[in-house]
A and B are shown apart, each in its own frame.
Chain A
Amino acid sequence: MSKQERIEQALDRLRQNMPDIRAAIVASPDGLLIAERGAGNAATRLAAMAATALGLGRRIAQTAQAGEFNELVVRGKDGYLAVFAIEGKAVLALTLPEGGNLGLLRIEAENAVKDVLEEL
């Protein structure tokens, strides 16, 4: 099985554990799509946005003396986009509808970050 397939499997597990998750993508820190599930046409733009959020989030965390960047959550009227650093190697972005369980999302994301990290 290829590396991409193994990363896609990690995203599949994530979505099985938490079917609320609409889109799950993994991108390089400079915004190139590595793997996605459920993102459809938006995948490449989401990848670029995730990298932007990671880059800006890192800078903000540094300026605010909040230490190393961990996550960034954007909440809109209809849902969330959460962005998680996969060390310095990649970024995980997940979308969740309004009313979704953010606590569970964090736990699942943490597991997925570990899984993906093993592949990178």
Chain B
Amino acid sequence: MKPHTLKIGVLGPYGAGKTTLVRTLSTIPAVSTEAPSSEGGKATTTVALDYGYLDFGSVGVHLFGTPGQARFHDVLDVVLQGALGALILVRADRPSDLPRVRELRDYVASVLEVPYLLGATHLDKERRWETAEIALFLKEREDRVLRLDPRDSGQARRALARLVELVCEEGGVRCR
């Protein structure tokens, strides 16, 4: 274990790629709590949390993924307690999810009050919003919305690096 540890939350609507991201980043076998999904688009869905851990430079990062559907909102409070930063995933090919993303962003900003980044997933789809359009909809700074393929460990690690930087600078967390 590293001397400094960060708890990072992973949020996003149903099917955005949260479980995949935790699995891609984790260097230990990730813990998942999945149940068969009755909503389509994928075989299983997270019902409690995903957990993964990685050593990241001078800090140890604990990743906590959350369930995506609004009915699990109570679970978010529990799973994200003590989180120091958040990655919010958004499907670029599903603009109808954006109001839900905005709710999650507002929750992170006003309830958790921690630094966050938005990661646009499914950018390989033909019909998609670009990161700048997503930023515009959410009234976010453009540099807070990143391209993030949760299956790509390079992109995932770059996004995490940016977030850890933010947490260490803006969040007032000691990282070294």
* Chain B interfacial residues counted at CB < 8 A: 20
Among A30, A45, A48, A59, which residue has its beta carbon within 8 angstroms of that of B39?
Answer: A30
Could you name 20 residue pairs across A and B whose Cβ atoms are closer than 8 Å?
A28-B35, A29-B36, A30-B37, A30-B38, A30-B39, A30-B45, A30-B69, A32-B38, A32-B71, A48-B71, A48-B75, A49-B75, A51-B47, A52-B67, A55-B47, A55-B48, A56-B33, A58-B33, A59-B33, A59-B48
- Residues of chain A with a CB closer than 8 A to B69's CB: 30-31, 48
- Residues of chain A with a CB closer than 8 A to B46's CB: 55
B61-92, CB under 8 A of A: which get 1 and which 0?
Answer: 00000010101101100000000000000000
Contact of A24 with B by CB under 8 A: no
- Assess whether A45 is in contact with B71, with CB atoms less than 8 Å apart: yes
* Interface residues in chain A, defined as those with a beta carbon under 8 Å from any beta carbon in chain B: 28-32, 44-45, 47-49, 51-52, 54-56, 58-59, 88
Which label, helix, strand, loop or mixed, suits the secondary structure of the A interface?
A: helix
CB distance from A31 to the nearest CB of B (A): 6
Chain A residue nearest in CB terms to B33: A55
Question: How many Å lie between the Cα of A58 and that of B34 in the bound state?
Answer: 10
Among B34, B71, B74, which residue has its beta carbon within 8 angstroms of that of A55?
Answer: B34
Question: How many Å lie between the Cα of A49 and that of B48 in the bound state?
Answer: 9
* Contact A48 B72, CB 8 Å, known A28-B38, A30-B36: yes
Contact of B173 with A by CB under 8 A: no
Chain A residue nearest in CB terms to B37: A30
Question: How many Å lie between the Cα of A117 and that of B57 in the bound state?
Answer: 51
Question: How many Å lie between the Cα of A49 and that of B67 in the bound state?
Answer: 12
* Contact A54 B71, CB 8 Å, known A28-B38, A29-B36: no
- Assess whether B71 is in contact with A29, with CB atoms less than 8 Å apart: no
- Residues of chain A with a CB closer than 8 A to B32's CB: 59
Chain B residue nearest in CB terms to A47: B71
- Residues of chain A with a CB closer than 8 A to B75's CB: 48-49, 52
- Assess whether A44 is in contact with B71, with CB atoms less than 8 Å apart: yes
Contact of B31 with A by CB under 8 A: yes
B23-62, CB under 8 A of A: which get 1 and which 0?
Answer: 0000000011111111100000111110000000000000
- Assess whether B74 is in contact with A30, with CB atoms less than 8 Å apart: no
- Residues of chain B with a CB closer than 8 A to A56's CB: 33, 47-49
- Residues of chain A with a CB closer than 8 A to B39's CB: 30
CB distance from A48 to the nearest CB of B (A): 4
Chain A residue nearest in CB terms to B70: A48
- Residues of chain B with a CB closer than 8 A to A30's CB: 35-39, 45, 47, 69
For the complex of A and B, 6 pairs with smallest distance between CB atoms:
A29-B35, A55-B47, A55-B33, A56-B48, A48-B71, A30-B35
Question: How many Å lie between the Cα of A49 and that of B79 in the bound state?
Answer: 13
